[in-house]
Homo-oligomer: A and B are copies of this chain.
Amino acid sequence: MSTAELGLPVDVPSTALFTDRYELTMLQAALRSGAAGRRSVFEAFTRRLPEGRRYGVVAGTGRVLDAVENFRFDAPVLDFLRREHVVDDQTLDWLAGYRFTGDIWGYPEGEVYFPGSPILRVEGTFAEAVLLETVILSILNHDSAIAAAASRMAVAAGGRPLMEMGARRTHELAAVAASRAAYIGGFRTSSNLAAGFRYGIPTVGTSAHAFTLLHDTERDAFTAQVVSLGRGTTLLVDTYDVATAVRAAVDIAGPELGAVRIDSGDLLLLAHRVRQQLDDLGAKDTKIVVTSDLDEYAIASLAAAPVDSYGVGTSLVTGSGHPTCSMVYKLVARAADDEPLVPVAKKSMGGKTSVGGRKWAARRVDEDGVAAAEVVGSGPIPEDLAGHQLLVPLVRGGEIVGREPLDAARLRHIEARAGLPASATQLSRGEPVLPTEVLG
């Protein structure tokens, strides 16, 4: 796939500048010392879940593959690096020919994860693999944070549809990735046209308060909307008085009115009142959409209310209190020439230690098929776990092999979450629902 095919709204000529400067200076020093060519294994993982969360959700893997494929140092980038004296000429020459030729394994997108899960494993020379650190972490840390929040909201919503509408609350391109991650986590639609364009996510939306205020009366606005968008449209009923608006809405659109939307006030109370009013007016099939600063707790609190769907903005795109995961990308093993891999790990005091060695991961299930533990190891894999391995090939010899439709990730997440112990989906704070066992 060429960069142009990555599609609008943004054509990314290269992802190589989504990189911290120190990756390049390390490369320069390693080229000079001769260590740049050492076979290296990097792993992306978290040391903990956000406080109180019971599982994480892998998202962004597909975007990582796009980023790796487009990671190239073309002339304008090289000119910039030369002009700013970021690295020396030998390094610039090496960068000009860069493309990743190694292997990447990872948890497939939509899978759940736990502290220590090796979510992504990048293998290649140090030089090739170290450069990918920043962009890989940017993508996984952002997208997985959104998907985890989305998953909790989907659980809270039961079977009711969720609409992502947070574009205005986050960076305009983070918003597109957030729509994608939310879809993986269980959202059904998005307000974001760019997400529809780029990822085929179904888009929805009809009108805002401004449309009502623009017209001389609310009735004028409703009439204009129904004439133009049809009786199946969703009318926003909380600009002035809700009861008056609902009466006008049904009067104008008839009982075929698609839905009314409530965007402020006591949603529990209003949903009951509006449902009663709609029923009394004969609009028994008209749905109720609520969209006012919802999060998973507010959604859960409306479980018994006559609400048909939820729109979620701010709390979704900010990860519901946890806008980033704490994924890190660590060198866990390396080898000179043909020697065997040597596990390595930071060892100073201060808590930021990690487990060395190139790791496999598997999910142990109990006799009922319910997940019992996340098992991670760098030695041979126990026979009973060999069939439950979590890492799949994503890139082989530089060639992308792990692309899949977004719906595959969405379905995988539903299955993966369903395989966890029931307490995984409690909204209350708790410990990770699976322990992570590290085998030698």
Contacts and interface: CB of A to CB of B under 8 A. Distances in A.
A177 interface: yes
A130 B210 CA distance: 8
B21 A346 contact: no
B170 A141 contact: yes
Interface in A61-110: 67, 76-77, 80-81, 84, 86, 88
Interface string A229-248: 10000000011111000000
A296 to B, nearest CB: 17
Interface centre among A23, A168, A334 (most CB of B within 10 A): A168
A193 interface: yes
B210 A331 contact: yes
A134 B168 contact: yes
Given A32-B228, A331-B209, A20 B241 contact: no
Contacts of A348: 238-242, 264-265
A224 B32 contact: yes
Contacts of A24: 193
Interface stretch (A199-207, A398-406, A423-431): A199-207
Interface in A1-53: 8-26, 28-33, 35, 38, 40, 42
A26 B207 contact: yes
A391 B115 CA distance: 49
A113 interface: no
A139 B172 contact: yes
A13 B20 contact: no
A304 interface: no
A285 interface: no
A318 interface: yes
B33 A170 contact: no
Interface string A262-289: 0111100000000000000000000000
Contact of A13 (B11, B209, B352): B11
Given A14-B9, A167-B20, A213 B346 contact: yes
A20 B192 contact: yes
A228 to B, nearest CB: 4
Interface residues of A, number: 114
Nearest to A356: B213
Given A170-B174, A239-B348, A265-B350, A20 B224 contact: no
A128 to B, nearest CB: 13
A24 B16 CA distance: 35
A317 B12 CA distance: 22
Contacts of A215: 33, 35
Given A25-B207, A207-B26, A348-B265, A86 B193 contact: yes
B331 A169 contact: no
Nearest to A176: B18
Interface centre among A165, A213, A241 (most CB of B within 10 A): A213
Given A211-B30, A215-B33, A224-B32, A171 B142 contact: yes
A114 interface: no
Given A169-B324, A170-B142, A331-B213, A20 B265 contact: no
Nearest to A342: B216
Given A10-B10, A10-B11, A35-B214, 8 more contacts: A19-B167, A20-B191, A20-B192, A21-B203, A26-B208, A126-B214, A134-B172, A238-B346
12 contacts: A9-B18, A17-B194, A18-B167, A22-B191, A25-B206, A26-B206, A29-B211, A84-B203, A134-B172, A138-B175, A265-B351, A318-B324
Closest 9 CB pairs of A and B: A265-B350, A22-B205, A33-B224, A264-B350, A21-B205, A137-B168, A171-B174, A29-B228, A210-B331
